[in-house]
Chain A
């Protein structure tokens, strides 16, 4: 998988989610308008009970709009992060990268793809930064490869990703927490220690995390370009 394919897949997933959020905004706002029109009629007719229920429903609809807008804003930020990781602002894309932010962005970007294969993807919402010299887009690509490993054996699992350190080395902990297909996913991750795609000069490897059975450490290390 190259950078372009990685970005294309994550962007398609994010756009799909964005359309759904816009659909929720449109329908919820429309419902609020519908009920406001009904409430006007009920007010004119002096129907106090229905008036109160209508106002509550309007309030709930508008709260739904706000929730969807906040989600859309978070998704937009993740898309922007990926765009800049790919060099959209003309700056050097070589690094450094905050792995915590990369995890949060990946979780948002890939959410729709994950749901399609019944993978429940989560990350830390407010984690402290964990800086690495690996390029951000390479990190996203590695996460997508791990995701593909899980999806290839059927998905149906809960995956949690979080930036961390192992023996002073920065990386990402992949925690296979739950799911009907958990054993298959664990087998797939155990059987694929070396991921295939990294930028020249970087290597991604997946190893068991300390002694815990369901967790893996995705490490991103510099290597000689010729050794790739």
Chain B
């Protein structure tokens, strides 16, 4: 069964394209364009891994992370930032996140972290690479 990855980011062009690339590699990506919609989504369809942008309009990334962890304490969350080093601006995020990455991210690095997150939780792996 394909790894379910929830991508949370208000930059729709970026997150839709990333989802498409992950799908081509056998992952099962879902997208949410806000923290609020992401929290609604996880309640009905729990992902295996989350990729979360820290700076979004409405509910900030930090609060989204905190609430995700309240619902699913063991859910690996990879935090993403376009705002320099995540640890400088969001120390709480560094503590609670599985990994921190900055934009523009390298897909190869993300895939390695997704694989590590899979091993960490024992979740289903990607259903083989098509590329």
**Interface residue ranges, A against B (CB under 8 Å):** 12, 15-17, 19-20, 22-28, 30-31, 34-35, 37-38, 61, 64, 68, 112, 115-118
- Contact B14–A24 (Cβ < 8 Å): yes
- Contact A25–B83 (Cβ < 8 Å): no
> In the complex, what distance in Å separates the CA atom of A15 from the CA atom of B83?
7
Chain B facing A: main interface SS: loop
Q: Can you list 19 A-B contacts with CB-CB less than 8 angstroms, sorted by A residue number?
A: A19-B102, A19-B103, A19-B104, A20-B14, A20-B82, A23-B103, A26-B105, A27-B17, A27-B18, A27-B107, A28-B17, A31-B20, A31-B24, A34-B24, A35-B24, A37-B131, A38-B130, A116-B56, A118-B57
B122 interface hit (Cβ, 8 Å): no
Q: Which residues 93-131 in B have Cβ within 8 Å of A in the complex?
A: 102-107, 130-131
- Contact A12–B58 (Cβ < 8 Å): no
**Interface residue ranges, B against A (CB under 8 Å):** 10-11, 13-14, 17-18, 20-21, 24, 55-58, 82-84, 102-107, 130-131
Instruction: Please pick, from B56, B105, B130, the residue contacting A23 in the complex, using a CB distance under 8 A.
Output: B105
Chain A facing B: main interface SS: helix
Q: With a CB–CB cut-off of 8 A, which chain A residues contact B20?
A: 31
Known contacts A16-B55, A34-B131, A115-B10, A25 near B104 by CB under 8 Å: yes
Across the A-B interface, give the 6 residue pairs with the lowest CB-CB distance, nearest first.
Answer: A19-B82, A23-B104, A23-B103, A27-B17, A22-B104, A26-B104
